[in-house]
Amino acid sequence: MIALQERYPFRPRLPAATALLLLLLSSCGSPSGGETPRAQSEPVDGGRPEGQSFLRIGNRSITEVARAESFIASRCLFYDDGFLTHITLATSLREAPQGAQDELSALLADLQRRRTGTGGDPAPPAIEAGASRRRRVYQLHPANDWIIDLSLEESPGVPTTVRVVCKLRIKGEKDLVADARAPILLKYLRKKTAEGLLAQMDRPRVPLDRHFQALAGFLGTGALSEPELKRARRLLIAKAGKAGKNPAIAATLLDHLDSFDPSDLAALDSDGSIAPRVFYLAWSANRGLKKPLGELLVLSLEYHGDALLFQRALTALFPRKKNKRLYALHPPGRDREGALAFIRSLREMLARAEYQSGKGWTVEP
C-alpha cells in the first residue's frame, strides 16, 4: 500500500474538483432548485406519519368540522354518592333517530355561538337541596377524530335537559359550556347505555356492586325494554336480599320503590342483615300502609348504627316537595347523630302522618 501511494501520489486538480462538488449539490435539491421533497416515511403534522394527520379546527366552525351524525358515544360515567362506574359504549349517532341528530346539531351550533362570543353564559345547574349525588355523564366524539370531546351530563331533577362541556383540543381554546333540552337524544343514549350495562353483567362476567347501583339508576326512565326491566328487577332484588355488610344496594333501591311489585318482593331473601328488612318495610309503607311505617320507626330505635339507612328510607317516603316545612325545621342529618334527630322528629309526628296516593306521605310539624 505504501509503495502504491509513493508511485501514484494524490494530486487533486482544482477545476475538476469544483465541478464535481457543484454537480453533487445540484442533485440534492429539487429539479426547480427549491426545497427537497419530503420523504414519504418522514413524519408530518407534529410527528405523525403522512396519511394519519388529524383535523385542525383553526378558524372553522364546530359545525363545519364535525356533523352530528359523525359522532360516537364512547362511554358513560355513572356517579352515585362516591361510586363511579364506567359503561363502555360504541354507539353511533348515525343510527339514532333523526330527532336526536337534530338536537345534537342544534347543540353544536349553540356551542359555536358561545365560541365566537355571541351566546350567553349558562346559568349554574339547579340542584335541589338534599338531592342525591347521582348523575350520568355521556362522552361523545367524532368518529374520524378526537379533536372535539363532548360530555353530556343529565341535569338533576330535569330529565330532558343536559349540561354540555365541549373540549376543543387546540392550544389556548377554553372549554365551552351550554345547557340544552335534548329529550330524544337523552332517551337514545339512556337506552344504549342500559343495554351496554346489562351486557357487562352477562356471565361469565362477575358484576360489581357499582354495576347494580348504575342499573338501579335506569329504573323508571323508560330506557329498559320489558324483558330487560324484568331481568333488572330480578338482579337488583336478589342483590338487595344479600346486602351483608354493604347496604348500599338496598339504600339505592329506596329511591325506586315504585318500580317494584309484589312478585318482585317475593324473591327478597334476607341474609340476616337489616338492609333488606328496611327496604321491605319502606316498600310496604310506600303502598299507603301505616303499620310498616310505624314498624320502620320503631326498628330504628334498635339499629342506631344504621341511622343513615333508616333516614334514607324515610326521606323516600316523605318527599321534600310535599313536606317543605318538615325539612326546614328538621333537616336530614349528614352523620349518624343528625340522622337520629331527623328520625326522632318523625317518630313524634307519626300520629299526624297521612298518605296521599301518588304523592307519598305528608306530615304537618
pLDDT tens profile 179-197: 999 999 999 999 999 999 9
167 and 238 housed in the same domain: no
178 and 306 housed in the same domain: no
Query: Where does a domain end: 140, 166, 189?
Result: 189
Q: What pLDDT score does 288 carry?
A: 94
Q: What pLDDT score does 228 carry?
A: 94
Grid coordinates belonging to 247: 347496604
348 and 237 housed in the same domain: yes
Phi and psi at 269, nearest 5°, equal -115, 110
231 and 184 housed in the same domain: no
336 is a domain residue: yes
Full 3-state SS string of 20-61: HHHHHHHHHCCCCCCCCCCCCCCCECCCECCCCCCCCCCCCC
At 58-73, the pLDDT tens digits run 667 888 888 999 999 9
Give residue 135's domain range. 62-121+129-189
251 and 321 housed in the same domain: yes
279 and 342 housed in the same domain: yes
136 is a domain residue: yes
Q: What pLDDT score does 32 carry?
A: 39
Percent of the chain past pLDDT 70, that is, above it, reads 77
234 and 358 housed in the same domain: yes
Grid coordinates belonging to 172: 389556548
335 and 231 housed in the same domain: yes
| Residue 30's pLDDT band (cuts 50, 70, 90) | very low
The residue among 233, 260, 257 whose CA lies nearest residue 319 is 257
pLDDT of residue 19 exceeding 70:
no
1 is a domain residue: no
232 and 352 housed in the same domain: yes
265-267-269-275 Cα dihedral, nearest 10 degrees: -30
Q: What pLDDT score does 359 carry?
A: 87
101 and 185 housed in the same domain: yes
85 and 182 housed in the same domain: yes
| Residue 104's pLDDT band (cuts 50, 70, 90) | very high
First to last CA, the chain: 115
| Residue 124's pLDDT band (cuts 50, 70, 90) | low
208 is a domain residue: no
Query: Where does a domain end: 143, 169, 189?
Result: 189
- Pinpoint the alpha helices (H) of the chain: 2-7, 14-28, 62-65, 98-115, 183-200, 209-216, 226-240, 248-253, 262-265, 274-285, 290-302, 307-317, 324-329, 336-348
173 and 253 housed in the same domain: no
3-state helix, strand, coil in the chain (%, to 5): 45, 15, 35
257 is a domain residue: yes
149, 170 Cβ separation under 8 angstroms: no
Q: What pLDDT score does 42 carry?
A: 34
76 is a domain residue: yes
Grid coordinates belonging to 53: 394527520
Q: What pLDDT score does 272 carry?
A: 75
82 is a domain residue: yes
Q: Residue 247: count other Cβ atoms within 10 Å of its Cβ.
A: 21
279-290 mean pLDDT:
95
pLDDT of residue 5 exceeding 60:
no
Query: Where does a domain end: 168, 189, 210?
Result: 189
Phi and psi at 76, nearest 5°, equal -125, 135
342-347-353-358 Cα dihedral, nearest 10 degrees: 50
251 is a domain residue: yes
At 209-249, the pLDDT tens digits run 889 989 998 998 899 999 999 999 999 998 888 766 667 88
* Number of compact structural domains in the chain: 2
Q: What is the pTM of this model?
A: 0.73
Q: Lowest-confidence range among 38-42, 76-80, 121-125, 241-245?
A: 38-42
